[in-house]
Structure 1
Amino acid sequence: MKTVLITGCSSGFGLEIARHFLAHDWKVVATMRTPQEGLLPASERLRVLALDVTDAASIHAALEAAGPIDALVNNAGIGMLFPLEGTSMETTRSVFETNTLGTIAMTQAVLPGMRERGAGVIVNVTSTVTLVPLPLLSVYTASKAAVNAFTESLALELAPLGIRPRLVLPGRAPTTRFGENARPRMQAGTPAAYAPLMEKVFGAVRGGGPVTHGEDVARAVWRAVTDPAAPMRIPAGADAEELAASLA
């Protein structure tokens, strides 16, 4: 029986990915900053562990507790929808620490075991905004685009070792979190000149249209892990698939 470790499982995509692998009889190590009971169905194949991807000691402790893993899914991330001029460097660093450096740190930590076994899959969850940029997402997009480049380069050096890095690119999530969370933080230091654009973007975020659901991402991650012929970049969700097709 194979084992997958997934980061960022407290909600959203990570939670659905964990449910999907449990339903397909994998052992699942579901990690999150603060473990919560009852998020996932009780199973002998499930372990819920504390893990902060920005903390080296936390990464080491979680991997020691998890034991050998066959697949790593780097899903933990911070979303941010701000004009750059209203974004502090402290906030920018925190986004990169989690989205980019956290992904790199987790990947580096699992490589020795995968290399010794001559097999393993690493799936990094990024975003379609790395393909078609949108306003107010410059820092977030940069943090995820860096992961795209990292993964594609890494795949070349790990191929001879039997390890397969892959990317899953979700489209727009069915949530208003980005817009809602941005407002109070932007009022503190964002020039008024950005107000019209902010209102337009927030309205689009709250509005309808195609979205990517957790099940879409879970299926894409499952394909990346279980299909050796899966492409490097796998879109997740109808909107993401439409975008990928338009760029092919």
Structure 2
Amino acid sequence: MPTVFITGCSSGFGLETAKLFLDKGWKVVATMRDPKDDILPQSANLIILPLDVTDPASIASAFERSGEVDVLVNNAGLGAAVPIELIEPATARQLFETNMLGTLAMIQAVLPGFRTRRRGTIINVTSSVTFKPLPLVSVYRASKAAVNALTESLAVEMEPFGVRVHIVLPGRSPETSFASNAMPHLRGLDNPDYKPLIEGMIANFRSDSGPVTHAVDVADAVWRAATDPSAPLRIPAGEDAVQWMAEAH
């Protein structure tokens, strides 16, 4: 029975992905900062573990308890929507420490085993905002673009060892906690120049009109990356993400 290790499973994309792999008969290691035992179906194939991707001791403990892993899904992430002029340095550092350095640390934890066994799959969930410049998400976008660049080079490094690497790029999703998680970092509503832009962004994040990405779209894309050896390096997830990727090329 193959094992998938998924970060950020408390809600949204990670939760839906964990459910899909359980339904498909995989052993699932579902990790989250604050474990919740009642959000996933009871199963002998399920392990729920605490994990902070910015804490080396937490990472080591989670992998020690999970056993051998076949697929790593780096889904955990932090969002923030702030004008470049106003973003706090601490917020910028936190975005890169979670989204980029946290992903790097997780990859480094599995690579020795993958390389030795000459198999394994790494799937990094980033964002379709990396396809084009958007206001207010500059540093978040930069952190996800960094993961894209990291993943592209990783794919080249791992090819000789039989390790597959993929990027899943979701679009805007009202089903995730991005907007609520980003709110504590918000700055600029008291600025008459930035206020209209920020209010428009908040309304857009919360709207389910137009093409959007559903959590099941991301779960399906991750499943494809995990199980289809012919899957491309970059896999858009969601109708809007597919459109943006086509426009970017």
Shorter-chain TM-score tier: over 0.9
Residue pair 1:86, 1:189 contacting (<8 A) in 2 also: no
Task: State the SS of the aligned residue for 1:193.
Answer: coil
Equivalent position SS for 1:30: strand
Contact 2:78/2:178, CA 8 A, preserved across alignment: no
Alignment of 1:4-153 (within 5 A): 4-153=4-153
- DSSP-derived class of the 1:43 partner: coil
Question: Counterpart of 2:221?
Answer: 220
Give the Å deviation of 1:70. Answer: 0.3
> Displacement, 1:59?
0.3
Q: Which residue in the other structure is 1:173 paired with?
A: 173
Deviation at 1:138, TM superposition (A): 0.2
Counterpart CA distance in 2 for 1:176 and 1:50 is 20
Tell me which moved more, 234-243 or 214-223.
Answer: 234-243
Number of residue pairs matched by the alignment: 248
Is contact 1:126-1:148 (8 Å) kept?
yes
Report the AA paired with residue 229 of structure 1.
Answer: S
One-letter code aligned to 2:199? E
Cα deviation for residue 246 of structure 1 reads 2.9
Which range moved further: 9-18 or 85-94?
85-94
Gaps of 5+ in 1: none
Q: Which residue does the alignment assign to 1:230?
A: 231
Q: CA deviation at 1:239?
A: 1.2
The two structures have a TM-score, normalised by structure 2, of 0.94
Which has the higher mean CA deviation after the structures are superposed, 199-208 or 153-162?
Answer: 199-208
Contact 2:72 2:123 in 1 (8 A): yes
Q: How does 1:145-164 map to 2 (within 5 A)?
A: 145-164=145-164
Deviation at 1:152, TM superposition (A): 0.3
Distance 2:114 2:184 in 1: 44
| Cα 1:140/1:209, change in 2 over 3 Å | same
Distance 1:83 1:236, change over 3 A: same
Structure 1 CA distance for aligned equivalents of residues 161 and 204 of structure 2: 45
Q: Deviations over 1:6-52 (max 9, x none)?
A: 00001110000000100111100000111111110011110001111
Q: Please give the alpha-carbon distance, in whole angstroms, between the structure 1 residues aligned to 2:144 and 2:203.
A: 24
Quote the Cα distance in structure 1 between the aligned partners of 2:68 and 2:211: 38
Which residue matches 1:242?
243
**CA root-mean-square deviation:** 1.7
Listed one character per residue, the Cα deviations across residues 196-231 of structure 1 (whole Å, up to 9, x for unaligned) are: 221222232233222111100000000011111100
Displacement of 1:240 after TM fit? 1.1
For residues 187 and 246 of structure 1, do their structure 2 counterparts lie closer, same or farther at Cα, with a shift above 3 Å needed?
Answer: closer
Task: Give the AA of the match of 2:224.
Answer: R
* TM-score normalised over the length of structure 1: 0.95
C-alpha deviation, 1:243, in angstroms:
2.0
| Structure 2 gap ranges (5+) | none
For the residue of structure 1 that corresponds to 2:36, the secondary structure is: coil
Percent identity between matched residues is 58
> Residues 164-196 of structure 1: CA distance to partner in whole angstroms, max 9, x if unpaired?
110000010114855555556435896432112
* SS of residue matched to 1:169: strand
Change (3 A) 1:46 1:182: closer
Q: Counterpart of 2:139 in structure 1: which amino acid?
A: V
Residue 105 of structure 1, CA deviation: 0.3
From the superposition, tell whether residues 131 and 104 of structure 1 become closer, same or farther in structure 2 (CA, over 3 Å): same
